[in-house]
Structure 1
């Protein structure tokens, strides 16, 4: 397995984006490689599933893979910290692809995008609005706008916006910032609080040694969440989503809604080539790192990417 990784700093609007480049086995700089930009879930970082699972697997299959941290998160710059703003999240892709197109060993006409969970929703939106991406893959993709209006906002988005407005006023006047943890502190606490498979399995991934990483903080700045409530990952998909794409989900749906979101974008997208893969017996967080979920996902994803990007030349 290839373990060659280079950490780079990519210019963004007024700060830098931290990214890891995963190289294929027997990498030769004189060749031209297809590339994939890999985006992490909400509250995650590049050292988790987008890099150490899908990034490494795609690199092993022959792609140059760039896994990056979102602005305001992970090792990337931007203040205040812990902002989850969809417009910035999608903008990050554009700066990363700007950088990737300067690499002499990348074929600028063969770049794809892949994202997991919220990163999958952002990846789909990036493919809709930046046609430098030749194709797109969403692994258990979540539309963060829809999630913010529903489960994350207690299905009362107006009340959420009122509270965010008041909190931002407090902070603008010098008060303490409200940083919320998106998950319970332990699996036991999660099981006491809910029976929802997504919350329980997310906690088991992020709050135990299974998936913990120093920058995988699962935190959000509450007062800056208002932008998400008016945003929709699939807005104008009927017209703008023209690129080939694949959505991979499990058939055990949870409260974060990836199964529903994957079905929606599959139905709405104007793409002439679109595929949805539903894996039996698989849940959202199994697709982060569990071999019994990741392997059948990659068995579909890697041929799809090779079909549209080809091999190194």
Structure 2
């Protein structure tokens, strides 16, 4: 694992994106390196699995890795805060690439992406139209748009959209912003409230304990600005536009967030001729965030994949 990290600011529209660059051992700025952009899960931050686990491990294998906080989240700028808008999340990849191609040590023909959880869906969508991305990897990637027009809105997307519209009108007129905390405060509270579905409980176990807790990994969302996500689909036009090589890693213990289902779907639908589905047998969505055995299964496939295509 590498501990050679630089924190940088990247210009987006009217704010900066905060990012950590992980450098490989023996890094020499006069050389050209392949780069992997590592994107964090919904409500997470760059200091969690995208950076400290996968970013560090890929850097140790010779890649420059850039892990960034989504716009409106973490240490990145943008107002209002806690905005989870797929449009901006996808655009973030292009702003990051705009920055990377100005660095003398970056080989702009060897840029790949890695998306984890919800960022897996965002990475899929970005890769379709951002042709500077040459290789796509996801770890337990989920299509956030599907979640928002299914279970995250109680399978009542129209009712949810009406509520979001009413809340946004109220906020425009001066009402307090409604920022939802997406998880219970602790595993104990989750059990007390009967929130023991595997993905929900294990998310709480990761984000609300010392295991994965970080100051910016708050899992909060601005309710009034969720409408775009309800109508969005990460996989739209994958049959035509998603042609780059791809490596999709999932666990086979399915949960409510649907990463197993989404992984199978995108591999089936993508136009890419070079695509692989990697199933970590016996492991769940959150096992793949940081547990050594499933993470090794993922990296044992992702590392040679990126070395081949970058």
Cα-Cα RMSD = 0.7
Q: Write the mapping of 1:285-304 to structure 2, written as runs, cut at 5 A.
A: 285-304=286-305
Counterpart of 1:277? Answer: 278
Q: Write the mapping of 1:51-90 to structure 2, written as runs, cut at 5 A.
A: 51-90=51-90
State the SS of the aligned residue for 2:158. helix
Measured in 2, the distance between the counterparts of 1:298 and 1:34 equals 16
Offset, 1:188: 1.7
Measured in 2, the distance between the counterparts of 1:49 and 1:267 equals 27
Counterpart of 2:29? Answer: 29
Counterpart of 1:120? Answer: 120
* TM-score after normalising by structure 1: 0.98
Of 184-193 and 147-156, the range deviating more from structure 2? 184-193
* TM-score after normalising by structure 2: 0.99
Runs of 4+ in 1 over 3 A off after TM superposition: none
Residue 251 of structure 2 is aligned to residue 250 of structure 1: yes
Counterpart of 1:97? Answer: 97
Deviation digits for residues 271-294 of structure 1 (CA, Å, limit 9, x no counterpart): 111110011101000000000110
Offset, 1:193: 2.4
Offset, 1:2: 2.1
- Aligned pairs, how many? 309
Measured in 2, the distance between the counterparts of 1:28 and 1:170 equals 54
Measured in 2, the distance between the counterparts of 1:6 and 1:113 equals 19
Offset, 1:252: 0.1
Offset, 1:151: 1.4
Counterpart of 1:40? Answer: 40
Offset, 1:184: 1.2
State the SS of the aligned residue for 2:209. coil
Counterpart of 1:204? Answer: 205
Offset, 1:147: 0.5
Counterpart of 1:13? Answer: 13
Offset, 1:189: 2.1
Counterpart of 2:269? Answer: 268
State the SS of the aligned residue for 2:21. strand
Structure 1: any 5+ residue segments left out of the alignment?
none
